[in-house]
């Protein structure tokens, strides 16, 4: 266990909890083909950090929520689109992929 004022190897303050666990998020990859060109759905971030930057629709997994349901819920909340099928695509979790801390994301390919 680390003291509240200690930093991890990336210079981030350790969370003030007994166990240091990554946060879990789920992202939706929605794409369509238009005139032989692949289009990918992105949202513009409205909250810090990275306000105004592009991102896949997605967000934090709620307690007692299935990851697939999180992905579909976040897609609907952020875009108004309803997913009709969902397929696991990838899991990413590099410690520096998110400036807020260590986040692991489950990426799903979603058909709308």
2 within some domain: no
Residue 29 has pLDDT above 80, yes or no: yes
In this structure, what CATH number is given to the domain that contains residue 38?
3.90.79.10
pLDDT the model gives residue 15: 76
**What mean pLDDT value characterizes the chain?**
91
Q: How many domains does the chain have?
A: 1
Q: Are 1 and 14 in contact (CB under 8 A)?
A: no
pLDDT digits (tens, 9 = 90+) for 56-97: 999 999 999 999 999 999 999 999 999 999 999 999 999 988
With cut-offs at 50, 70 and 90, classify the pLDDT of residue 111: very high
pTM for this entry? 0.83
Q: Is the pLDDT of residue 37 over 70?
A: yes
> Quick check: is 14 in a domain?
no
Q: How far is CA 99 from CA 5, 10, 92, 95, 103, in A?
A: 18, 10, 15, 9, 9
Is 10 among the domain residues?
no
């Amino acid at each position: 266990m680390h003291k509240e004022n200690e930093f991890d190897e990336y210079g981030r303050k350790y969370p003030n909890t007994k166990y240091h666990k990554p946060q879990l998020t789920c992202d939706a990859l929605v794409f369509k083909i238009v005139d032989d060109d692949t289009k990918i759905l992105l949202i513009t971030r409205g909250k810090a950090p990275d306000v105004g930057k592009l991102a896949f629709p997605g967000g934090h997994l709620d307690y007692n929520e299935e990851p697939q349901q999180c992905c579909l819920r976040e897609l609907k909340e952020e875009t108004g689109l309803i997913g009709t099928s969902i397929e696991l695509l990838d899991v990413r979790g590099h410690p520096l992929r998110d400036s807020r801390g260590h986040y692991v994301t489950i990426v799903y390919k979603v058909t709308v």
